[in-house]
Amino acid sequence: MARLFLGIDSSTQSLSAVVIDLDTRKVVYEKSLNFDQALPQFKTKNGVLVSRDPLVKHSSPLLWAAALDLLFAQMKTDKVALENILAVSGCGQQHGSVYLNEKAAAVLENLDPKKSLVENLTGVFARKTSPIWMDSSTAKECAEIRKKLGGIKFTASRTGSDTFERFTGPQIRKFYKTDPKAFAKTAHIALVSSFMASLLAGKIAPIDFGDGAGMNLMDIRRKNWNHDALKATAPSLVKKLPLLAESGRAVGPVSKYFVEKFGLNAEALATVWTGDNPASVIGLGLIQPGQVAISLGTSDTFFGTMEKCQTDESGEGHVFGSPAGGYLTLICFKNGSLAREKIRELYKIADWKKFGELVAQTPPGNNGGILLPWFEAEIVPRVNQPGIRRFELDEKNAAANCRAVFEAQMLSMRLHSQWMQVAPEKIFVTGGASNDRALLQVLADVMNCKVLRIEISKSAALGAALQAAHGWLVAADQNPKWEKLVAGFTAPVPGSEIKPDKKAAKVYDQMLEKYAACEYDAL
């Protein structure tokens, strides 16, 4: 019998499934359901409920439950061998929170397969909607929590991150302040990940160390709830939070609901879910300390792995527990492809091939010219007033400006990841701009290490499926090794390796100090 494992990713706009066959090392099934299209009755736009306040971004937990029913029904229709699935794990959009009342635990234990999940769950919510990661309405609560914890440095060193509007702790505090009666009726606070895991397990599931770190409530080093952070957030909070646990740990057999309704293996294990970013780290194969991946998309995201916890005193980077053990960091640069495309438009460059040719016309280091491409307000470094700045750079020189945007982005990544104290031997790249060899050469030269491209769609769902396999092997006392587990699933694209030019690398070593000074001057 094939050893199959199911990974589910509950993201902002969709619910995705990936099934892997552990013996053939292959993805045997993948499917994605778009919330807006598949469930129009919930009236979401891009997975989010329309709000009069542009800062408020909520969704409905019943939407996610309805999507889970639909996804399993689709897998059954597609003749996925659900009876051969040995474990299910998953991940959810980070930071989003679900508020359940005292009825929830009993309802979860007795889900009726003759009804839908939505029908089963009617009446279990202390709050009808869930604030998600896009919500930025809690600036006041962030300031209050940060002040009580002693400032940015202390908040980051305790919880892994400075307080951020989208993080769960400030969202909980706002709910407590604005609706104390509903907060009092809240018996269980879940994350998107642990809520979905609870549905599959038929019981209140733990929150894992990866997603728990995105709450400003977990002690990042001890991996338990931080008493001071809880106290700064809301009264009696510890009573409303579940246990913390390792990602992928078995919670128990899957709920009979899924067995009787869809034919899921009755002995399949339901496991602890994680956040989509920690799951993606597994799906990208980042399981060794010091490994780095960069997603080159609308925004550029730097993922790094660490054995020992290092936190960013400036509060720019985030540290989460890694499902593979140790820690991972996430640093987000808002002006990614957004800035590259703006430069292309500015100089009326026909395509990216021509853009790369222009970059090649200028030497590494750009004759000392530096650009700060903050077309939008930037996250790292914190730039509230957008606007581009040039230093010793001719605005009319298209080729120099093309190189300058590439160099600035890569130098910024190197500068703002130094606190991790990690010198990567190789960097994996993914995302829309990962096909741009000119950009990747600058990356290799600035970081002075080889760069390899990986093409993995649904990396979060794949990471969740691998997490399910790991959890099952642990439960079977088979002592699995992550390196062996991910082998074959996360291989780089053949022939994609780009090596650094040693002369260029020396130029960038010297240029980093100047870039840092320009950034400091601009800020």
pLDDT digits over 173-198, tens only?
999 999 999 999 999 999 999 999 99
Selection from 1, 114, 26, 15 nearest residue 66 by Cα: 15
- Report the pLDDT value the prediction gives residue 421, as an integer from 0 to 100: 85
Q: What backbone torsions phi and psi does residue 494 show, to the nearest 5 degrees?
A: -55, 135
Residue 384 — very low, low, confident or very high, per pLDDT cuts 50/70/90? confident
- Report the pLDDT value the prediction gives residue 444, as an integer from 0 to 100: 98
Tokens 């080159």 -> residue: 296
Mean pLDDT to the nearest integer, 92-111: 97
- Report the pLDDT value the prediction gives residue 431, as an integer from 0 to 100: 84
What amino acid occupies position 157? S
Instruction: Find the range with the poorest average confidence among 95-99, 293-297, 447-451.
Output: 293-297
Residue 298: pLDDT over 90: no
Selection from 305, 87, 88 nearest residue 210 by Cα: 305
Total Cβ atoms within 10 A of residue 37 = 9
Residue 456 — very low, low, confident or very high, per pLDDT cuts 50/70/90? confident
Selection from 493, 498, 489 nearest residue 447 by Cα: 498
- Report the pLDDT value the prediction gives residue 45, as an integer from 0 to 100: 94
Q: Sign of the CA dihedral 362, 363, 366, 371? A: positive
In the chain, the domains with their CATH numbers are 4-279 (3.30.420.40), 285-455+493-523 (3.30.420.40)
> Do 175 and 182 contact (CB within 8 A), yes or no?
yes
pLDDT digits over 110-165, tens only?
999 999 999 999 999 999 999 999 999 999 999 999 999 999 999 999 999 999 99
- Average pLDDT score over the chain: 95
Residue 22: pLDDT over 90: yes
Mean pLDDT to the nearest integer, 321-350: 94
Residue 486 — very low, low, confident or very high, per pLDDT cuts 50/70/90? very high
pLDDT digits over 356-377, tens only?
999 999 999 999 999 999 999 8
Residue 380 — very low, low, confident or very high, per pLDDT cuts 50/70/90? very high
What percent of the chain stands above pLDDT 70?
100
- Report the pLDDT value the prediction gives residue 385, as an integer from 0 to 100: 87
Mean pLDDT to the nearest integer, 17-35: 96
- Report the pLDDT value the prediction gives residue 432, as an integer from 0 to 100: 83
**pTM passes above 0.75:** yes
